[in-house]
Structure 1
């Protein structure tokens, strides 16, 4: 499952994308210094936009750790979405690409093949996530997963939930049911290229 993604877009461009969708972004901890990052890995700190309680069309942009420790101390970086409503602590994980890894066809090759997926025609996209407070690491987030859509099925048997733009404001509103928002993208919505 997704254990590496990227965000190469500047903060001003991220804010602009949310403004186009009429989502007001707040910075409760001040404007974060977001640097372009080719690889955001498990336990790294990264930007998320989370709901503002009682305010539809608003979100807080904060930086949090990706993954919280499970009872067995393993990082929870992906979380199955099937059959769940997520009635609180929803967030949007901002990205412009994510990676999946496959076993190479050449048995002599030791490293897995690395594939970069991007949303066609969009500078950024939002991955459906949830966050929680933990005793160990403070607040942390995880990505929701589902059955793969047509673009992902040749590479993996699961995929992260990428929300359509018109669903971003609804995802940030926990009174809106999560189930109709969690659906695969149509075919050819993601571009893919081998990068390693």
Structure 2
């Protein structure tokens, strides 16, 4: 958790919202089925803010190749400052991951039932991330921080992404003050909403806006 995203946010709009300079070769949008190991446009603060493409799946510096160990798409907020793979990144390289929403699955009998989560107010969903460049080619990669689920998510999954509200963007990016740890909290139940979607999204090859359309239970 979270293990799949959807993004329909135009890059020029995201760059404008965050006051970020967009890099070249940003991943195409819309993408209704963003899978791990694919590139996602994330916001970093490296002097100026940048909108950069990064591989979803954090690559620790000791991996001898990008897939040289477990795929680290998420990092637990409760332990991120202690884990060797993440502790330096959470101090020095935090990023914002703006998307339209994400998918989560629960089980109904033997079937995995997908649901689509997104902000109840219709705004971009901005998740807390950590990142680093790996290897001689400096491949940028990131992980999404997760935390204990709120009452909305708990019937489906026990984890939920850390959501960064606009007032906290500067602090999470390290642009002002300290206390980024205070941002790593479970979002209120009113922040997100969700609906059930069709089984097509279970395939990582599926595409198209129908993936986020609601279906009857």
Q: Compute the TM-score of the two structures, normalised by the length of structure 2.
A: 0.76
Q: Which residue of 1 aligns with 2:10?
A: 10
RMSD between aligned alpha carbons? 2.2
The SS at the match of 2:98 is strand
Q: Which residue of 2 aligns with 1:190?
A: 192
Q: Which residue of 2 aligns with 1:181?
A: 183
2 CA distance for matches of 1:185 and 1:68?
23
Q: In the TM superposition, what is the alpha-carbon distance from 1:31 to its structure 2 partner?
A: 7.0
What are the Cα deviations for residues 107-149 of structure 1, in whole angstroms up to 9, with x where unaligned? 4x4xx11000001113312110000122287210110111112
Give 5+ residue unaligned stretches, structure 1.
19-23
Q: Which residue of 1 aligns with 2:78?
A: 82
Indicate yes or no: 2:33 matched with 1:39: yes
Q: How many residues are paired up?
A: 182
2 CA distance for matches of 1:144 and 1:170?
15
1 CA distance for matches of 2:128 and 2:174?
12
2 CA distance for matches of 1:150 and 1:45?
31
The SS at the match of 1:168 is helix
Shift in alpha-carbon separation, 1:61–1:118, aligned structure 2, 3 A: same
Q: Which residue of 1 aligns with 2:161?
A: 160
2 CA distance for matches of 1:172 and 1:125?
16
What are the Cα deviations for residues 139-168 of structure 1, in whole angstroms up to 9, with x where unaligned? 101101111122211111111111122111
Q: Compute the TM-score of the two structures, normalised by the length of structure 1.
A: 0.83
